[in-house]
Structure 1
Amino acid sequence: MNPKLKLLAEGQGGVFSRSQAADCGYTPDQIRDRIRDHRWIRVRYGQYVEAVDLSHLAPWDQELLNHQRLVHAVVNSMAAGTVAVSHQSALALHGVPLWGPDLAEVQVSRMDTHRGGRIAGVRHHRGKLTDADLTTVSGLTATTVPRALIEMACTTPLEAAVISADAVRRDHVVRSDEWERLQAVTEFWPGSATARAALAFSSPLSESVGESRLRVLMQTHGLPAPTLQAEFADALGFIGRVDFYFAAQRTVVEFDGLVKYAGNTRERLIKEKRREDRLRALGLQVVRITWAELEHPVRVVAAIQSAFARA
C-alpha cells in the first residue's frame, strides 16, 4: 500500500474506499489485481482493508476487530454528521469485549430525520441523544461507553450483557450518577430489566470473557455466589489468586480458556500443577474449566457439585 493510502486508512480503522484508493494513485487494474489476489479484503461494497494475519488473536478478538472494520466501512460510505455509532458497534469501537451480540450488522443512532430500521446490513435506531451521550472514538462520533453498554444490554441476552458490563466496570471509570442518569432515561425501554440485572450482577473482578460466561452459567444453575480473585498462601508463601472460591464448600474453580492461544508449554503445565498441589494441600478441591466445556453447562455444574460433595 502506498504511503498516502496507508496514512488515510490508518485514520479510518484501516478501511478505505475504492474511490479513495483511486485518489491516492491506484489505477482500476491495480485495484482489481489487489482484490483478486486477496492483498485487499472487501469489508463492504466499495470498502476494503489490507490483508493481515489474525490467527494469533482469540476468536472473540478477531470478531471484534472485523466488526470495527465494518463500522468504519459503513460510516465511510455515509454523509458526515448523520449518525452516531451506537449499541454493540460503539462498544466495539471503544474496545469493550463482546460475546453474543449480533455483529453481522452495524448499529447506528440517527442524528437527522432519517427513519429507523434495517437497511443494507445497518440497523438504524431512532432516539434522543444529548451531548452527555456522545463522544468521538477512532475518529467517529459514537455513544459513550456507559450509554452504548445500556443500549446493547437492552437488546441482548443476560450473558452477553454481563460479559461487556464486567469489562466496562473493570477497564473504564464511570461515575455512579452517570449510571443513574442512564437507567432513568432507559427505564421504560424494551429490555431495560435485562440491562439493570446485568449491571447489578457485573463485577470489575471478572478478568476475561470466559470468566464472565462461567459466572453467568453458575448463577443460572443455582450455584452459590463465589468469591472472585481470592488469594491463598501456605508455609512457603504466596500461592496465587484463584478465579472463584466457594468458601463454605472449600472449593476453588479456575477458568482455563486461553490455553490454545497462550501456549500450553511444558513449563506452564508444571507450574500450574505445583500451584494446584499447594492449593489441595490446604484441603481445597480444585476444578478447572476450559472454554470448550462452557458449551456443556450441565457437565460443568456436575463437576463443581462433585467437588462440593468431596469437600
Structure 2
Amino acid sequence: MNSKLKLLAEGQNGVFSRGQAADCGYTPGQIRDRIRDRRWVRIRHGQYAEAVDLSHLPPWEQLLLSHRRLVHAVMNSMGADTVAVSHQSALALHGVPLWGPDLTEVQVSRMDTHRGGRIGGVRHHRGRLTEADLTVVSGLTATTVSRALLELACTTSFEAAVVSADAVRRDFPVSPDEWQRLQAATEFWPGSATARAALAFSNPLSESVGESRLRVLAHSHGLPAPVLQAEFADALGFIGRVDFYFAGYRTVVEFDGMVKYAGNTRERLIQEKLREDRLRALGLQVVRITWADLADPARVVALIRAAFARA
C-alpha cells in the first residue's frame, strides 16, 4: 500500500473505499489484482482493507476487530451527519469488551427523518439523540459510552449487558447524574427492565469478560454473592487477590487464574501451585473455572457446591 493510501486508511481503522484507492493512484486493474491475490480484503461493497492475520487472537477479539472495520466501512459509504454509530457498534469503537451481542450487522441511530429497520446489513434505529448523547470516536460520530451501554442492554441478554456494564463501570467513569439522566430517557424503552437490572448488578471489580460471565452464572443458579478481589496473606506475607471469595463457605473461586502470571508456562504452573497451596493452608477450598467450563453451567455449579460441602 502506498504511503498516501496507508495514511488515509490509518485514520479509518484500516478501511478505505475504491474511490479513495483510485484517488491515491491505484488503477482499476491494480485494485482487482490486490483483491484477487488477497493482499486486500473486501469489507463490504466498495470498501476494502489490507489483509491482516488475526489468528493469534481469541475468537471474540477477532470478531471485535472485524466489527470495527465493518463499522468504518459502513460509515465511509454513508452521508455525513445522517446517522451516529450506536449500541454494540459504538461500544466496539469505544473499546468496551463485548460478549454475546450480534456483530454481523452494524448498529446506527438515525439523526434525520429516515425510517428505521435493516438495510444492507445495517440496523437503523430511531431515537431522540441530544448533544449529551453524542461524541466522536476514531473520527466517527457515535453515541457516548454510557448511552451505547443502555442501548445495548435494552436489546440483548442480561449476561451480555453485564459483561459490558462491568467494563464500562471499571474503565469509563460515568457520573451518577448521567446514569440518572439516561435511565430516565430510556425508562419506557422495550428491554429497559433488563438494562436497569444489569446496571444494578454490574460491578467494576470484575476484571475480565470471563469473570463477569462467571458471576452472572453463579447469580442465575442461586449461589450466594461472592466478595470480589479479596486479598489473602499468611505468615510469609501477601499471597494475592482472588477473583471470588464465598466467605460463608471458606471457598475461593478463580477464573482462568493462569493469566495472572507472566513468564513461560512452566513458571506459571509453579507459581499457581504454590499460591493455591498457601490458600489451602489457610483452610480455604480452591476451585478453578476455565473458559471451557462456562459451556457447562451445571458442572460449574456442582464444582462450587462440592467445595461448599467440603468446607
TM-score bracket, shorter-length normalisation? over 0.9
Corresponding position of 1:155: 155
- Identity within the alignment, %: 83
Output aligned runs, 1:201-212, within 5 Å.
201-212=201-212
- The question of whether the paired residues in 2 share the 8 Å contact of 1:257 and 1:291 is answered with no
- The question of whether the paired residues in 2 share the 8 Å contact of 1:117 and 1:123 is answered with yes
Output aligned runs, 1:52-201, within 5 Å.
52-201=52-201
Deviation at 1:51, TM superposition (A): 1.1
Instruction: Give the letter for the 1:142 counterpart.
Output: A
Structure 1 residue 217 corresponds to structure 2 residue 210: no
Instruction: Give the letter for the 1:246 counterpart.
Output: F
Deviation at 1:58, TM superposition (A): 2.2
CA distance in structure 2 between the partners assigned to 1:118 and 1:263 by the alignment: 47
Q: TM-score, normalised by structure 1?
A: 0.97
Deviation at 1:53, TM superposition (A): 1.5
CA distance in structure 1 between the partners assigned to 2:206 and 2:263 by the alignment: 22
- The question of whether the paired residues in 1 share the 8 Å contact of 2:257 and 2:288 is answered with no
Instruction: Give the letter for the 1:197 counterpart.
Output: A
Corresponding position of 1:234: 234
Q: TM-score, normalised by structure 2?
A: 0.97
1:142-192 deviation line (CA, Å, top 9, x unaligned): 000000000000000000000000000000010000000000000000000
Deviation at 1:49, TM superposition (A): 0.9
Secondary structure at 2:124 match in 1: strand
Corresponding position of 1:7: 7
Unmatched 5+ residue regions in structure 2? none
CA distance in structure 2 between the partners assigned to 1:264 and 1:121 by the alignment: 43
RMSD, aligned α-carbons: 1.2
Tell me how many residue pairs correspond in the alignment.
309
Deviation at 1:60, TM superposition (A): 1.7
- The question of whether the paired residues in 2 share the 8 Å contact of 1:39 and 1:50 is answered with yes
Corresponding position of 2:305: 305
CA distance in structure 1 between the partners assigned to 2:41 and 2:224 by the alignment: 48
Deviation at 1:29, TM superposition (A): 1.4
Deviation at 1:31, TM superposition (A): 0.8
CA distance in structure 2 between the partners assigned to 1:57 and 1:81 by the alignment: 34
Runs of 4+ in 1 over 4 A off after TM superposition: none
Deviation at 1:41, TM superposition (A): 1.1
Deviation at 1:56, TM superposition (A): 2.3
- The question of whether the paired residues in 2 share the 8 Å contact of 1:110 and 1:124 is answered with yes
CA distance in structure 2 between the partners assigned to 1:42 and 1:307 by the alignment: 51
CA distance in structure 2 between the partners assigned to 1:257 and 1:78 by the alignment: 45
Corresponding position of 2:295: 295
CA distance in structure 2 between the partners assigned to 1:72 and 1:257 by the alignment: 36
Instruction: Give the letter for the 1:9 counterpart.
Output: A
- The question of whether the paired residues in 2 share the 8 Å contact of 1:110 and 1:116 is answered with yes
CA distance in structure 1 between the partners assigned to 2:225 and 2:135 by the alignment: 36
